[in-house]
Each structure stands twice: as C-alpha cells, then as structure tokens.
Amino acid sequence: MNIHFVIIMLYFNLEGGMELYVTLSIVLPWIVAFVIYLAKNDFVTNVLSLLMLPVLGYFAWEVYFSGNVMLIDTPHWVDYAITIYDFGLLGYFLYQGIKNKSMLVSALAILQLVLLIIVILMIEHSNTANIYVDKLTVFMYMIVAIVGVPIAIFATKYMEYDEKGKHSFVAILIWFLGVMNFAVSVNNIEWFFALFETTTLASYVLIRFRMDEQAVKNAILALWMNQIGGVAILFALLTFLKTSGMYHFTDILNADSKVVPLAALGFLSLSALVKGAQMPFHKWLLGAMVAPTPVSSILHSATMVKIAPYLLLRISPVIKGTLLAKLLIITTGFVFVAAAVIALTQDNFKKILAYSTISLLGLMMLAAVVGTPIAITASLLLILFHAFAKGFLFIEAGVLEKVFHVKYIKQMRRLIERAPLTLMFIFFGFLNMTFVPFGTFIGKWIMIEEASGFLSHGSYVLLILYVGAGSAFLSVLYMKVLGISVRKSHGIERVRALPLPVRFNFVSIWYYVWLLAMTVFIAPFIATQIVPIAQELSGQMPNIHADHLSLVINTSTLYFWQILGALVILSLIHALPFFVHFKNVDTAKPYNCGEAFPRHIETYNFVCISKYENYLIAFSIALFVMVLVLGGGLL
Amino acid sequence: MKFETLMLLLTLFAPIIGGFVYGVERIVKARMQSRVGPPLMQPFYDFFKLMDKRPLMVHSLHAVMGIMYFIACWFSLLVLFLGNDLLVAVFFHVIAVLALTIGAFSVRSPYSVIGAMRELMHMISYEPLMVLMVVGFYQVVGSFNLKDILNYDGIPLLQLPVVFVAFVLAIPMMLHKSPFDVAEAHQEIIGGPEIEYSGPFYEAVYTGKWIEYVYVFFFVFLFGGSHYWLGALLVLFVFLFVNALDNATARLDFRRMVKFSWFVLIPISAFNIIFLALWR
C-alpha cells in the first residue's frame, strides 16, 4: 500500500507540487486512520502509526522548504460537502445530547443549527481561496508530525495494557492529527467552524473512550463547553457577514482596520478562550484525564488546545493594541497565575499537569494578543516547547500509570528508587517548563523584556507581574512534585530499574533528544526558524538574532556560555544523582531530635488556597464577561 | 582595569568576600547585643575546621545537591556580573533554589522537608519582586544591561525609592534573616534545608550562602547608578539596617511573610513603576 502512495506522490509531484503535500498532510491521516479502523490488526496498526512519523514529517518538511505562502483554491463541491458535514456533525451532537439526556448539549446544538442556517442564508460567494498555508500553518504541521505522531506510537503499546479497543483508539488519535492539520490550514471561517467542531467531536469521542459513567459525564462536559466556542464562532461569522461580508482570515487581515468589527473579533477570541480551556471553562480539560493517558497527551500537546493560541495568532495583527487586546491580556494573564496557584492544591499527577497546561495556555494567548513581533515570537516558542514538554510529561504519566501504578503524587514517594529512568524524564520535562535555558523560559523572558518597553498602560505592568508571579508559582509546583518523588530512605540504595517496553523508551528518548537539541542550539533555532514566522505574522522583523550560538534580543544577550552552563548544571542536577555514589563517605541517619522516624512525611497541600478557588473562578467569569462586553464593544 | 576582568575577579573571590561580609556581620550583630563577638576570620576558621571533618552524608543524592547548590549560586553570580542582562541573572538564581530544595526534600527528615517547603515560600515571596525591581531599572536606565546601569548618570534610587524600600524589606527573605527566617528557623526546625549536611558538604551549602550575600548586596549597590560612593553607602546602610532588623524582631509565620510580600511590597513597587512610566 505504501508503494502505492509513493507512486501516487511521484505522479502528483510533477503535477501539483506543494499543494499536493498540503493536501496529503490533511488527507493522509484521515485515510490511514480509516485503514487502521477497518483492519483491526496489530501489525497494521503498529506499522502504520510508526510510518506516519517519517511520512508526515516529510510532508511538513517539504511544505516548509517551499517557503512561500500558498492560497489553494478548492473545487466548489467541497463547500457544499463541508456545509452538509456541518449539519451532520451538529445533528450528531443533538443526538448525543438527547441520548445522554443533556439539555445543554442539545440546546447548544440546536442553537448552532439555527445560527448555521442563518449564516448559510447570508453568505455570499467569495473568490478568496479557502485553504491558506503560511509559515504558521507549517509550524503547526511540524508540531503535529513531530510531537503528535509519537503519541500515537506510544498508544499502540499503552493500549495493550488491559485496555479495550486499541485499534479504534489509535485510529481516532491519528484522525485527530489530520483534523488538526486541516483546522490550521483553512482560510474560510465557516470551514474553520466545521473543523473547530470536529476537534470537539474528536475530543468527545476520546474522552468517552472507556465508556464508564465518569468518562461519559466528563465527555458531555467537554462537549457542551466546546460547543460554546462553536456558538461564539458562529456569532463572529454573523457579525462579519452583517458588517462587511468578509469571512476569510486573509480578507480580514488585509482589510482596513476600521471595517473589521471588533465585536466579531471579540467572539473569535472567546472561542479561543473556551478551546484553550481558560477559566471558567477549564473543567473540560481537567475532565479529560479520565480517558486513557495518550488522550491527555494529545489534547495538551499537539492538538485541540493549541487551536486557541493559533487562532489568536492569526487575528493578532488586527486586535493588537485595541481595548480587546488589553482586556484579553488581563484575562489570560489572570488565568496564568490563578491556574498555577490552584495547581498547587492538587494531588493527582495528571491534574497537576492539566492545570499547568491551562496556566501556560494563558501565557501563550497573552503573548499572542500583545501582538508585537517579539511577543509573537514568545508565543510561538511557548507553543512549541510546551507541546514537546507536555507530550513528554503525559507520556511519562502514562508509563507511571501502567508500569508503576502511580496516579497520585502521594504515590510518587520514593519514585527515585523504583523508576529512576522515568523520574529522570519527568524531571527533565519539568525543567523544560520553567528553568533557565529552555524554550519556555526564553518565552517568558522575552515577554517581560518586551512588555517593559511599553509600560505606560496599567495592563502591561500587570502583565509583568503576571509573568513573574506565574512563573514563580509554577516553579514551586514543579519543585514540590519533584521533591516528593526524590525522597529516599536514609542510606539505603535500592535502585531497581524495571525494563520498560521498547516503544515507551523510543517515544521518551525521542522527546528528550529533541528538547535537548533544540535547547543547545536555541539561539540559531529561534533566529532562523521562529523569527521568520513571527515576521510573516506581524509584518515586522522582530529584533532577535543569533550571534553564533548566543541569542540577542534588542540590547540583551543570552550568551552561549550561560545557556550551556545552565544546561550542564541542570543536567547534573537531574541526572547525576542516579549515577553518582560517593564510595568513601560514611552514611548517617537523618537527625530526628530523638523521635521515632516518621513513616511518611507529607508536604504542604496548600489547602488554604483551595478555599479561594471559587473566588478565583468567579473573578475569571467577571473578566470573561468584561472581555465580551467591553472588549467586543457590545455596549 | 577592564570591566570584564574586574567582574571576573569579583566572581572568583566572591566566596572570600562573602565570608568577610559574614564575619563582619557576626561582629556587628554581637556589638548590637553588647557582646564582643567572634574574630573577623571566624567564618574561615570554620571553613577549615569543616573541611577537616570526617565526611558524613545521608545519601549521595543529598550530598550532590549540596554541592550543586554551591555551584549554581556561584554561576548565577557569574551571570549577574558578566552577563549583560539582569533579568537572566534573577532567573538563574532559581536553579540554586532548585538544587537546595531537591536536596532538602530527598532526606526523610521532617525538619529538612519542612525547611524545603518554606524555602519555596521564600521564593514565591521574593522572586516576583526581583523581576519588578529589574523592570524598574529598565524603566530608569532604558536597558537591562549591567554596564548601562553602572554608567547611568542619574541616581536610580531617586526614581525608584519605593522599589528600593520594598527590596530592602525583602532582603531578610532572601538572606534568611529575622523576621523572615522561616526556612532556617533555628529554634524551630534547626536550620531547615541545611540540617542534614555535615563536614565538607555542609561547607558547600555554607559557602553558597556567603555568595548569596554578594549577590543580594550587589543589587543594592546598583541603586547608586554611576555614583559608586552612593552605592557603597547604600550597601553599608542596608547592611546595618538588615542586621538591626534581624536583632530587633521576632520570627513571623511563613503565611505572614507571603502576605506581606504579596499585599504590601509587590503592590507598592508596581505603583512606583506605573507612575514612573506615566511621568516620563
């Protein structure tokens, strides 16, 4: 079958060129998913998911190196097909709502149906192409290929541990990647709505995968919350159609800023906030953890939530500097800090990771709406490194769950003796989320530097406070979790490395090596790969360049010796303890003031904060309404 | 002498400078309590004594983390002196905290673990403030570069008076001085993170603390801009003030510390910076 594809590819290569690779990036995962679903054969599933890695990577690579912006016209029938698909999708949601007796789901589905009909009645034919592939799109393709596909490979092994339905599960994961590739390439907002709702469908199916009571409940929650995002997109579409008749991203970006209605942009941002699981809509992402772990992994890293910063990056040139942008900064920044604070109170490992995703998504969106070239670079960096680190961490969470039967951080006690390798990977993932030379840190750093330049508006001082405070809270969170897992009993060295399955190790090492390589060469990497994307999005060249291996931003430099020094120190901290044993040193028991040794030592659970959780959520609702009413200019 | 050479020498000799600062501090404190106090060289005598002791450890990870704390502290000082971005130096300091807390968490001793948690509370209290202070410097000088701040003609202190006050009040949090010595709290948790270190390994942690003196007081020095005499005066004044405060106050609960930082120090510094931005 693969030979077949190669032949088709070679044939089209002469004809279609880059457009073919774009089409294949979108369509191939759908086909492969279908094949896996039909074949239900171990060999087919494993081989095809493994093959997706080089194949999708190659397509993204080819599109990337063609380098030009592509507007691809689609045949007219695709329009109709997507409209029909829309109705089918919403009909399915309605059916699910009725079947599961959820008023909210059915009501929102009906509302969307009505709005969709109005949209279709109002929409006029436009000659703008429906597929738009620029550097940002290819960037997302790359993330899907490099970060997303390994998760499917991981899932092929994961699902063999007493889980049912391996083949359909892997098929849905791969299909999800295709949906994501499609969603980031559409130009037509009506199509974007269809894809937006398809990701909702995919997450619904995945969250519900185990089909127990809790899973179905959480899936329904995810369904109605994400449908609110869909409603917001439809409202945005209606406003666009009513005021200017434009419904393509490129048209909106090229139009005079006076023509573009702020209300519509406000609605689009709202859908991003919902998709990005920003408080008060964060519950659906937390609920996703009842599903098999690869689901969390794929939702948090390569797909689904990344649509949110993607959408805001798309529209960032038009909302930059408006009141809407400032309100969005305040809202997302608040979520960045609040989610980090709430994460401190959690004791479920996956929940902690989920809260930190919510938190960092807030930061990505914040950077995206600030919209200056450097801020956009920061946002892109955060998207990329967060995808890698979170994919990595959730993979390790899956390993912990299946091999070591650890779900809560309480059970992570003395993990260093039971699972040294996995703990080392988790350690590295956490370091990536906040410490010095890694991409997430650089995102935060250049965000603060950038915001320092225009402090005259209060929201920007708030921004700096948010970034400083949020990163401090996140560091505390990670150090706390790591601290629990490195706890050792005195003197006893009982390190038993359990052999892990090959596919688990392959995926872990894949992420590890990528993260390490990107961090060492971070300066040239940012300057040559990320900066051009930011330049294309914002229309200006960000003042970032690489001086050999040192990173220069405006007047500040992150020297290579600093990057390397921090990397060496952190590598020593996260890896050395597993290998170094002082031979000639006597050991002693810890001082305990003459008391009996406690069997377990608890750590702070920050219960004093969980009292305020509801206040934090209430405040975020207020901010949300403020974005809608003031930012969207509804008053 | 060239700037870089000077800074490199300063970094190299930082443990010794820090040791002297600590020696002076012990004398000053003693005099404040009408005692004679130890000789100036006492920290170094301690150093040699500790190096001579039989090395004892709880387990290797813990011992390694003590050494890593020292290295990370020293390196963050190097970044502060030789890098050109203050903000990066602030974030480098977190690595030192990471090593210290991971080490402290890794032993099964309640004092050490409580100390580590409290150490994290210290970080929550002072880190956002440090970021704000550096942003304040940027507002005044127009650059994050250390050289530009040291060559700035005006006096940053006059434009950042509130930030300065807030930072001076945060110094006890960074150096573990009363009333904010909650992580060490000798009468309560017997030194917290450092309790389980002994011999050469304790020496590493101990010397790391000396380096932190240099690190923190250098930020005070920056408030003088290019008027180095003013910077030196400020350092002297702050040094005496912090020690007087250390002597005169009782320890507060860690919640008070976090609240004080978050509800008093950070808001007032933020206002300082907002007004500075508005009036320029």
pLDDT in tens, A539-584: 888 888 888 888 888 878 888 888 888 888 888 888 766 667 777 7
**Identity (one letter) of the amino acid at A23?**
T
* Chain centroid to CA A118: 32
Residue A496: the pLDDT is 66
d(CA B28, nearest CA chain A) in Å: 31
Residues A309 and A433 both lie in one domain: no
Residues A292 and A331 both lie in one domain: no
pLDDT in tens, B192-249: 888 888 888 888 888 888 899 999 999 999 888 888 888 899 999 999 999 998 888 8
The ipTM value here is 0.89
Q: How confident is the model at residue A57 (pLDDT cuts 50, 70, 90)?
A: confident
Q: What share of chain B is helix, strand, coil (3-state, %, to 5)?
A: 80, 0, 20
Distance CA A619, CA A613 (A): 10
pLDDT in tens, B60-71: 888 888 888 999
DSSP string covering A475-531, please? HHHHHHHHHHHH---SS------PPPPHHHHHHHHHHHHHHHHHHHTHHHHIIIIIH
Please report where in the chains the tokens 């994307």 appear, as a residue.
A533
**Of residues B107, B132, B195, nearest to A490 (C-beta):** B107
The DSSP element (H or E) to which A316 belongs, if any, is helix A307-319
Which H, E and C letters describe A108-127, residue by residue?
A: HHHHHHHHHHHHHHHCCCCC
* Rounded (10°) angle between helices B266-279 and B161-175: 150
Q: Produce one character per residue of A112-129: b if its CB has 16 or more CB atoms within 10 Å, e if not.
A: bbebbeebeeebeeeebb
Percentage of residues of chain B with pLDDT beyond 70: 99
A269: in domain: yes
Q: How confident is the model at residue A458 (pLDDT cuts 50, 70, 90)?
A: low
Residue A48 belongs to what domain range?
1-316
Residue B237: the pLDDT is 92
What average pLDDT does this structure show over A469-489? 83
A587: in domain: no
Distance CA A560, CA A558 (A): 7
What average pLDDT does this structure show over A266-278? 86
**Identity (one letter) of the amino acid at A256?**
D
Q: Tell me the HSE value of A549 on the side-chain side, using a 13 A CA sphere.
A: 11
Confirm or reject contact between A583 and chain B (CB < 8 A). Answer: no
Say if residue A3's pLDDT is above 60: no
Residues B205/B65, Cβ–Cβ less than 8 Å = no
pLDDT in tens, A78-131: 888 888 888 898 889 889 888 888 888 888 888 888 888 888 888 877 778 888
Contact residues, chain B, for A471 at CB < 8 Å: 127
Confirm or reject contact between B266 and chain A (CB < 8 A). Answer: yes
Residues A309 and A336 both lie in one domain: no
pLDDT in tens, A64-80: 887 777 787 778 888 88
What average pLDDT does this structure show over A223-243? 87
Residues A12 and A95 both lie in one domain: yes
In this structure, how many other beta carbons lie within 10 angstroms of the beta carbon of residue A528?
Answer: 12
pLDDT in tens, B20-60: 989 998 998 898 888 888 898 888 888 888 888 888 888 78
d(CA B113, nearest CA chain A) in Å: 7
Of A282, A316, A350, the domain-final residue: A316
Distance CA A430, CA A225 (A): 29
Percentage of residues of chain A with pLDDT beyond 90: 2
pLDDT in tens, B259-276: 899 899 998 988 888 888
**Is the CB of B57 less than 8 angstroms away from the CB of A484?**
no
Supply the pTM of this predicted model: 0.90
Residue B166: the pLDDT is 92
Confirm or reject contact between B203 and chain A (CB < 8 A). Answer: no
**Is the CB of B88 less than 8 angstroms away from the CB of A445?**
yes
Confirm or reject contact between B113 and chain A (CB < 8 A). Answer: yes
Of A286, A316, A346, the domain-final residue: A316
Report A:435-474 residues touching B (Cβ under 8 A): 435-436, 441, 445, 448-449, 452, 455-456, 458, 461-462, 464-465, 467-469, 471-473
What average pLDDT does this structure show over B5-34? 88
Residue A491: the pLDDT is 52
CA-based nearest residue in chain B for residue A565: B75
Confirm or reject contact between A599 and chain B (CB < 8 A). Answer: no
Residue A10: the pLDDT is 45
pLDDT in tens, A359-379: 889 888 888 888 888 889 999
Domain count, chain A: 2
Distance CA B94, CA A475 (A): 8
Six token digits for residue A185: 């390439």
Closest CA to B251 of B162, B146, B179: B179
Distance CA A437, CA A467 (A): 17
**Is the CB of B109 less than 8 angstroms away from the CB of A590?**
yes
Among A466-470, A629-633, B93-97, name the one with the lowest average pLDDT. Answer: A629-633
**Is the CB of A490 less than 8 angstroms away from the CB of B58?**
yes
Closest CA to A448 of A418, A484, A472, A428: A472
**Burial class of residue B48 (count of CB atoms within 10 Å of its CB; 0-12, 13-18, 19+):** exposed
The DSSP element (H or E) to which A385 belongs, if any, is helix A373-399
Closest CA to A473 of B262, B137, B180, B113: B262
pLDDT in tens, A279-333: 888 888 888 888 888 888 888 888 888 888 999 888 888 888 788 888 888 888 8
DSSP string covering A139-193, please? HHHHHIIIIIHHHHHHHHHHTTTT-S-HHHHHHHHHHHHHHHHHHTTB-BHHHHH
Residues A290 and A370 both lie in one domain: no
Residues A17 and A33 both lie in one domain: yes
What average pLDDT does this structure show over A192-206? 89
**Is the CB of B91 less than 8 angstroms away from the CB of A577?**
no
Residues A289 and A407 both lie in one domain: no
pLDDT in tens, B108-146: 888 888 888 888 889 888 988 998 898 888 888 888 888
Residues A144 and A115 both lie in one domain: yes
Residues A326 and A266 both lie in one domain: no
Say if residue A490's pLDDT is above 70: no
Confirm or reject contact between B51 and chain A (CB < 8 A). Answer: no
Percentage of residues of chain A with pLDDT beyond 70: 93
| DSSP 3-state of A248 | strand
Say if residue A416's pLDDT is above 80: no
DSSP assignment letter at A435: S
Confirm or reject contact between A475 and chain B (CB < 8 A). Answer: yes
Confirm or reject contact between A562 and chain B (CB < 8 A). Answer: yes
A589: in domain: no
Domain count, chain B: 1
In this structure, how many other beta carbons lie within 10 angstroms of the beta carbon of residue A43?
Answer: 8
In this structure, how many other beta carbons lie within 10 angstroms of the beta carbon of residue A404?
Answer: 17
Residue A632: the pLDDT is 66
Q: How confident is the model at residue A15 (pLDDT cuts 50, 70, 90)?
A: very low
A590: in domain: no
Please report where in the chains the tokens 């295709």 appear, as a residue.
A178
Of A260, A290, A316, the domain-final residue: A316
Residues A207/A241, Cβ–Cβ less than 8 Å = no
| C-alpha dist (Å) from residue B23 to A439, B17, B26, B47, B205 | 41, 10, 5, 12, 17
Residues A171 and A66 both lie in one domain: yes
Say if residue A535's pLDDT is above 60: yes
Say if residue A192's pLDDT is above 50: yes
Residue A1: the pLDDT is 42
Among A141-150, A251-260, A609-618, B70-79, name the one with the lowest average pLDDT. Answer: A251-260
Residue B238: the pLDDT is 92
Residue B93 belongs to what domain range?
3-279
**Is the CB of B65 less than 8 angstroms away from the CB of A577?**
yes
Residues A60 and A184 both lie in one domain: yes
CA-based nearest residue in chain B for residue A416: B106
**Is the CB of A587 less than 8 angstroms away from the CB of B59?**
yes
Residues A364 and A324 both lie in one domain: yes
Distance CA A415, CA A591 (A): 23
Strands B56-57 and A586-587: parallel
Confirm or reject contact between B88 and chain A (CB < 8 A). Answer: yes
d(CA B277, nearest CA chain A) in Å: 5
